[in-house]
Structure 1
Amino acid sequence: MSEKKYIIVLGDGMADEPLEALGGKTPLAYADTPAMDKLSKLSEIGLVHTIPEGMKPGSDTANLSVLGYDPKIYYSGRSPLEALSIGVPMKDTDVALRCNIVTISEEDVPFEERTIIDHSSGEISTEECTVLLEAVKEELQDETYQFYAGTSYRHCLIWNNGQVTDLAQPHDIPGRVIGKYLPHDEHLLYMMKRSHEILVNHPINIERKQKGLNPANCCWFWGAGTKPSLSSFEEKNGLKGMMISAVDLLKGIAVGAGMGVAKVKGANGGLNTNYEGKVRAALDALKNGYDFAYIHVEAPDEMGHQGSVEKKVQAIEYLDKRVIGPLVKALDGEGRDYRLLVMPDHPTPIRVRTHTSDSVPYLLYDSTAPKKESHFYNEKEAGESGNFISQGHTIINKLTERV
């Protein structure tokens, strides 16, 4: 086998800050990661800045960067990319919005005085949340506003002849009173309030509360944008690419870029996703005509949003032992020539429980030209390496040897 293959393993939100609870180490530095430790001794490490100046540090802008698309040119909003994944037929005059079904507090106070408890409703299952969305859809959908089910708590609202409006991201405001973060648009606000009335005593939520789980009791709209237009990934990079992700945003970027999208049973974007299935999907793609595989793992980001140090460390360890280790072992066993890039898209520090724009560490390994190094892959040592990529959308050129 002579044709070289190219792989990115993306640990969403994996980068962090030193934590006192971890003895002054970041979760990445603290975690037990034998596969990454072994690779780091044979690889280039460094820092890459994925978020362009003046843009919000979202997984949308960051993953566009990692895939080689300058967000300043290609970004038109997060939700339109997710709409592509769901298969929503968008018109040029449509505006897409993310519709999270979140957990807000249920004390006897006005809606505006309630608190956002959980942006993911306890990582609710797709099956449960689809039923809840149907209850909202039955009453609130009309010719102007149409709801589409996505994955877990993540759904989509299409606003016909809508307006792109600035809306608060629910994962940015855990534990805060929602009043000042609510939409200014009267109808969006009405739908949020009415969705809470519809969902608060839904049988699914009554059962969830009886089990000690967070109820999915309110729609939250954010991420507004217009129909995207991405150039072909294959034409741009000379590689036929496959996306492996549970997240509609990533699948939508892939659809817009003309990439393949793998279907992995049990991939849910949570801590207990089907890691092994993602590896199999990547290996199958590389055996069957694809040159490039993008394995996206959402779990470190979700655990960062939850503020769980223990679970974020566990997510990184799962990424290492259940994705990177088996992937490298299989590729080496097949005699493949390959280049592997491991990195986060952005940090999701435990301290703030949301994304930041700080540069992130990367690890670049070439099976045909392993290096002899003494460093480990983490934020501190990547920063000390002297390797820095200031424009994130160029890192794919480094992976594919176009620089």
Structure 2
Amino acid sequence: MKYVILVGDGMGDYPVDSLSGRTPLEAAKTPNMDWIVEHGEVGRAKTIPDGCEAGSDTANLSILGYDPAGVLTGRGPLEAASLGIELSSADVAYRCNLVTLSGQEPDVVMEDYSAGHVSTDEARALILDLDRGVGNDTFQFYPGVSYRHIMVWRDGEMDVNTTPPHDITGRAVGPYLDRMGSSEPLLELMHNAASLLKDHPVNRRRMKMGEKPANNVWFWGQGNPLRITPFKEKTGLSGAMISAVDLLKGIGVYAGLDVINVPGATGYLDTNYAGKVKGCLRALQEVDFVYLHVEAPDEASHSGLLDEKIEAIEAFDEKIVGSVIHGLKA
């Protein structure tokens, strides 16, 4: 028996007045998911256990059969694993967003948690310069994809009150920085990073083109290394992970899955859907199951873009669900 898990991350939502009380998923045209409903079995699962914060880390671990409350320390170490970063038990990996902050003190606002979805090439240049300019033996920066990166605090502080930047878009950041006040080293690092990024050539070029500058970093999602039983040891099944984002790749690393890197997978609407499907079908020749994850609906949700969210759901249905069904029938 072969298995495929297709995840359209963030597709769920609340009813929207402009959609006549429907959710984006209800409003989207999804003939292939409808076909599965008609010809398969439908169930409901609670992927966010009581007491756990809602997030892609929690939900995707749950889908794979892990108890987030028992294994999850934070998303940082998962993303670090995807990047091949070695952590000791005392090291703390923080998710490091490149963000756009606007306004003047004390009214600085989180304008964009993704710095306008800064490109991976631009972001890499910024993060490497941050590591050279403000990093040291204690604080180390590692480039990831687009705005998503890692900062490792060697022998660092775990108990810091951090906030996901996508949860505070359009809000003043002062109160959330105050919550981090117990960790003066982190606040100083952010201040130094802002000074370096302010006049960086990448940001000067972006502003000249009318794009949002990546003018600061934002730390959150910290954790120590996880202890997870390999998936095959739990289930007897071999598997593979396909995703654009380091969080899911890191889950794959910890779970002992084959992590398949698809060229052109971006985590957004312009991702390489065909490449993901091709990788899935090819992997099924070697392993028992494939976990194919698409980030685009979640990104549109965090940005508050209803039309793009519906577009992302419809693209997932057509280019992932439909193509996988067709490939499995062939």
Fold in common (TM above 0.5)? yes
Cα drift, residue 230 of structure 1: 0.9
2:141 counterpart letter in structure 1? F
2:175 counterpart letter in structure 1? K
Cα drift, residue 284 of structure 1: 0.6
Whole-angstrom distance in 2 between the partners of 1:200 and 1:175: 20
Percentage of identical aligned residues: 47
Match of 1:172 among 167, 176, 200: 167
Residue aligned with 2:233, SS: helix
The residue number in structure 2 matching 1:200 is 198
Q: Per-residue CA shift, 1:9-66, capped at 9, x if unaligned?
A: 0011100111112122111111111111222111222322111111111111111100
The residue number in structure 1 matching 2:325 is 328
Whole-angstrom distance in 1 between the partners of 2:249 and 2:66: 15
Q: Per-residue CA shift, 1:202-258, capped at 9, x if unaligned?
A: 121122122222111101000111011111101111111100001101101110111
Whole-angstrom distance in 1 between the partners of 2:269 and 2:216: 23
1:123 counterpart letter in structure 2? H
Matched, 1:48 2:83: no
Question: Is the 1:166–1:224 Cα contact (8 Å) retained in structure 2?
Answer: no
Match of 2:265 among 258, 264, 267: 267
The residue number in structure 2 matching 1:100 is 97
Question: Is the 1:254–1:261 Cα contact (8 Å) retained in structure 2?
Answer: yes
Stretch moving more, 204-213 or 316-325: 204-213
1:82 counterpart letter in structure 2? E
- Larger relative contact order (Cα-Cα within 8 Å, sequence gap ≥ 6): 1
Match of 1:27 among 24, 27, 43: 24
Residue aligned with 1:265, SS: coil
Whole-angstrom distance in 1 between the partners of 2:243 and 2:203: 28
The residue number in structure 1 matching 2:58 is 61
Whole-angstrom distance in 2 between the partners of 1:216 and 1:44: 46
The residue number in structure 1 matching 2:256 is 258
Question: Is the 1:233–1:240 Cα contact (8 Å) retained in structure 2?
Answer: yes
1:180 counterpart letter in structure 2? P
Q: Per-residue CA shift, 1:306-338, capped at 9, x if unaligned?
A: 1011000000000011000011011011xxxxx
Match of 2:108 among 88, 97, 114: 114
The residue number in structure 2 matching 1:345 is none
Whole-angstrom distance in 2 between the partners of 1:237 and 1:209: 51
The residue number in structure 1 matching 2:212 is 214
Question: Is the 1:12–1:300 Cα contact (8 Å) retained in structure 2?
Answer: yes
RMSD: 1.0
Match of 1:293 among 279, 290, 294: 290
Question: Is the 2:164–2:221 Cα contact (8 Å) retained in structure 1?
Answer: yes
Residue aligned with 2:51, SS: coil
Residue ranges of structure 1 left out of the alignment (5+ in a row) = 334-403
Residue aligned with 2:155, SS: coil
1:116 counterpart letter in structure 2? M
Q: Per-residue CA shift, 1:281-310, capped at 9, x if unaligned?
A: 1001001x1110000000000000010110
Stretch moving more, 299-308 or 154-163: 154-163
Whole-angstrom distance in 1 between the partners of 2:269 and 2:111: 19
Whole-angstrom distance in 1 between the partners of 2:329 and 2:283: 16
Whole-angstrom distance in 1 between the partners of 2:39 and 2:264: 33
Normalised TM-score (structure 2): 0.97
The residue number in structure 2 matching 1:238 is 236
User: How many residue pairs align between the two structures?
Assistant: 326
1:249 counterpart letter in structure 2? L
Whole-angstrom distance in 1 between the partners of 2:30 and 2:118: 29
Alignment of 1:114-193 (within 5 A): 114-164=108-158, 165-182=160-177, 183-184=180-181, 185-193=183-191
Question: Is the 2:139–2:152 Cα contact (8 Å) retained in structure 1?
Answer: yes
2:22 counterpart letter in structure 1? K
Normalised TM-score (structure 1): 0.79
Question: Is the 2:239–2:291 Cα contact (8 Å) retained in structure 1?
Answer: yes
Residue ranges of structure 2 left out of the alignment (5+ in a row) = none
Question: Is the 2:77–2:226 Cα contact (8 Å) retained in structure 1?
Answer: yes
